[in-house]
Structure 1
Amino acid sequence: MAEFKNVIKSRRSIYALGTNSEYSIEEIVATIRETQKDVPSAFNSQTSRLVVLTGEANTKLWNLILDVQKEVLDQATWDFMSPIMEGAKNGIGTVLFFEDRDAVAKMPTQGQRTEAYKQNNSANSQYATWLALAEMNLGGSLQHFNVGYEQGFDKGIRELFDLPESYELVAQMPFGSVEKGAGEKEYIDSEVQVQLIK
């Protein structure tokens, strides 16, 4: 249990990324694939689809995101967020988290419940991936640029990498070696966060 708690504590948002890792990209992807097998999903629907980009593909992704966000963000937000986008190009790669809308449609639910299950499926997948990376001494952060299937915001990313039309982008996780650790973290009272009622 102590080892599990240590992995949870080591998972932090890391923005200063590098490529200094003892693991090859193939080993990292193999670990992510193994992790995803046991990620829980509603009705065992397994709706999440992950795409790992590295090298030139990773650079193309973040150049596209930078081009789009430059046009839509106000100056103050751009000044804050653009270093995060630029820094994502310095790491080993990025995990793109999609939900396959065709698979989501097969769940025996509808409306708001389907949306909730879809988001839960993706959240489980994201957290499991983040923990797996942390266990490999890799840092990452969770980003939500160019998301919005209905509005067509993620269409450019699908087209850039020839991905299925049914893939709905939920998040990106740039990852790499930890070149600068996370700062101090503030915690709310644990008894407020987790309550016991007898």
Structure 2
Amino acid sequence: MEDKFLELQKKRRTIYALGKNVELTNDEIENLVKSAVKEAPTAFNNQSTRAVILFNEKHDKFWDIVVERLHQEVPDEDAYAKTVAKINAFKAAYGTVLFYTDMAIVKSFEENVPFYAEKFYDWSEQGMGIANYSLWLALTDNNLGASLQHYNPIIDELVAKEFDIPSNWRLRSQMPFGSIESPAGEKDYIEDNERFRVLDK
């Protein structure tokens, strides 16, 4: 049995200590992101996932927007100081990919395939998850670390304005990536008998 893919899955972890010591060029990373998203399956091949790749000052600006917006959410300055430290760890990364769902595509399939209309948003979320994971594995395969963040929806309007995002794109996740400056800790697993059932008779 081939297990290269399974080993890659084990290698992929959430990395919070990210840096800018990246050997790939921006063009190579761009191609990696495009390929990972394009090859990720979607329902009816509707290709509803969109991605915005941020490098350099655009990457920094995104996390500045996040930290400024979060100032309105935290209860006090001590909590905000912790928030700033957390966001600065993401800002220390090499770049960020913003993942969007094109809601115009979802709506068009709801209208044109009415029998499955109520399913298409759920299916777009599944496609989004696959695209997230596809890119995460591709980054891992190139010895880059990443994490998956969700500061939407409170940042959506600010980010859309700053980066001229189409109004029909809905922000779903953010993936800062970069060099692995410190590895993840051990991963715990629940017992197989709590998670799986094998029925053969």
Deviation at 1:81, TM superposition (A): 4.3
Deviation at 1:115, TM superposition (A): 2.3
**What is the TM-score normalised by the length of structure 2?**
0.90
Alignment partner, residue 40 of structure 1: 41
Farther-moved stretch of structure 1 (65-74 vs 92-101): 65-74
Q: For each residue in 1:77-108, what CA deviation from the matched residue of structure 2 results, as whole angstroms up to 9, or x when unmatched?
A: 64554333111111110010000111111223
Cα–Cα, structure 1 residues 77 and 129, in superposed 2: closer, same or farther, change >3 Å?
A: farther
Alpha-carbon separation, structure 1, partners of 2:47 and 2:163? 22
How many percent identity over aligned positions?
33
**What is the TM-score normalised by the length of structure 1?**
0.91
Alpha-carbon separation, structure 1, partners of 2:79 and 2:172? 20
Cα–Cα, structure 1 residues 10 and 74, in superposed 2: closer, same or farther, change >3 Å?
A: farther
Structure 1, unaligned stretches of length 5 or more?
Answer: none
Alpha-carbon separation, structure 2, partners of 1:135 and 1:60? 28
Alignment partner, residue 30 of structure 1: 31
Alpha-carbon separation, structure 1, partners of 2:170 and 2:12? 26
User: Residue type of the partner of 1:191?
Assistant: N
Farther-moved stretch of structure 1 (49-58 vs 6-15): 6-15
Q: Does 1:138 align with 2:140?
A: no
Deviation at 1:192, TM superposition (A): 2.0
Q: What's the secondary structure of 1:50's corresponding residue?
A: strand
Alignment partner, residue 122 of structure 2: 116
Alpha-carbon separation, structure 2, partners of 1:155 and 1:130? 26
Larger of the two Rg values belongs to structure = 2
Structure 2, unaligned stretches of length 5 or more?
Answer: none
Q: Does 1:100 align with 2:102?
A: yes
RMSD: 1.7
Q: Is the 8 A contact 2:156 2:171 kept in 1?
A: yes
